[in-house]
A and B are shown apart, each in its own frame.
Chain A
């Protein structure tokens, strides 16, 4: 079946799958950012309980694979009384997984802010919270954007796994189409291309734009 006919017939399903993928991506990103901030800051805390929790979380989610975490959250968590709908289990797992990597990026960026900035804020007698919020984090943001760009692409790729718990995303649709038509090159090929477009022409330009915005705010135009 030539490509145009294929798109005409199955375009809707691929499109709806893409929308689901984008939704998963957006929600997982929110979770990842929040978790990365909390765990990244937590790992630098003086309180051993907070620091310990952050370290345990980071090591577990970085040391095991996303697929294992996904299955665990979807199949095992219900046994502990926490039953999540598959859509939620999907973006939650991806978000928690990527958040663990993000936490290290956050921590690295905060530690890369020049020591003189800490001292200047200190000399002005700022409280630690104000100092972090108004002086350190804004500068750390500029430092962590480039690696976050790569991380978000990994996140996008991670969302493909939610198809394995039957969330009707792009990969799920591609598999369905393949199962009924055996047109593997077309179904999987187009799916690959769509993911590529989302990453290369969606995420990457967006991150570059953010980097420019932040650089301008740091007065570095």
Chain B
């Protein structure tokens, strides 16, 4: 074995890695926020009466879910300039991640909405509630608790996918580790520490999601 872990080096690069971790968290947070809202839009768009809208949204969502995120990131980053629009790495990254995870979340939302019993729709219709109110006051609140687990999974997923942004130069954790490695000709410490940091983030987040699910269920009176 020709490895030797150098604690002094690890200690030295830690601050830089932690600063990059902040970027990772911000990227994940913004991307997730976009996905949460856009995902709902996609989900609802697939339930309209306008066949064209339903169909196109469905195909679009399928396309995004079935193709690699990293390729989508490249596409958005490089295609812009080809048509004269310059997007910064951050912007392209956020759009790509937001779109990609919106597609995933739309499936989670759709499953949650479809799981709400038919009778709820009929009851809302019987008191003459508008479609929009039905969705936002009756259906979506009931669709939420079972969806939390799925939504939480994708939050963890987004955190773990942020390294892909490194390929277009976003200074998140992986990119920074790569740079450190290249600068010092030592990859052992940076890459291992990145792995540990990811574990240290994703495991507690997964735990928090579970706790959150329990809290939501209790608040909504669902068991």
Contact = CB atoms under 8 A, between A and B. Distances in A.
User: In their complex, do chains A and B touch, with some C-beta pair under 8 Å?
Assistant: yes
Interface of A: 59-60, 63-69, 71-72, 75-76, 79-81, 153, 156-158, 160-161, 164, 171, 174-175, 178, 182-185, 188-189, 191-192, 195-196, 199-200
Interface string B147-171: 0000000000000111110110000
Q: Is the interface of A mostly helix, strand, loop or mixed?
A: helix
B192 A81 contact: no
A59 to B, nearest CB: 7
Residue of B62, B70, B188, B202 with highest tally of chain A CB at under 10 A: B70
Contact of B71 (A71, A81, A195, A200): A195
Contact of A184 (B69, B81, B167): B81
Contacts of B66: 153, 157, 195-196, 199-200
B198 A63 contact: yes
Q: Is the interface of B mostly helix, strand, loop or mixed?
A: helix
Given A76-B188, A157-B69, A188-B75, A64 B202 contact: yes
A71 B203 CA distance: 21
Contacts of A188: 71, 74-75, 78-79
Given A171-B68, A188-B74, A68 B187 contact: no
B71 A68 contact: no
Interface of B: 1-3, 62-63, 65-72, 74-75, 78-79, 81-83, 160-164, 166-167, 174, 178, 181, 187-188, 191-192, 194-195, 198-199, 202-203, 206
Contacts of B174: 65, 67-68, 71
B71 A192 contact: yes
B183 to A, nearest CB: 14
A68 B167 CA distance: 13
A166 to B, nearest CB: 13
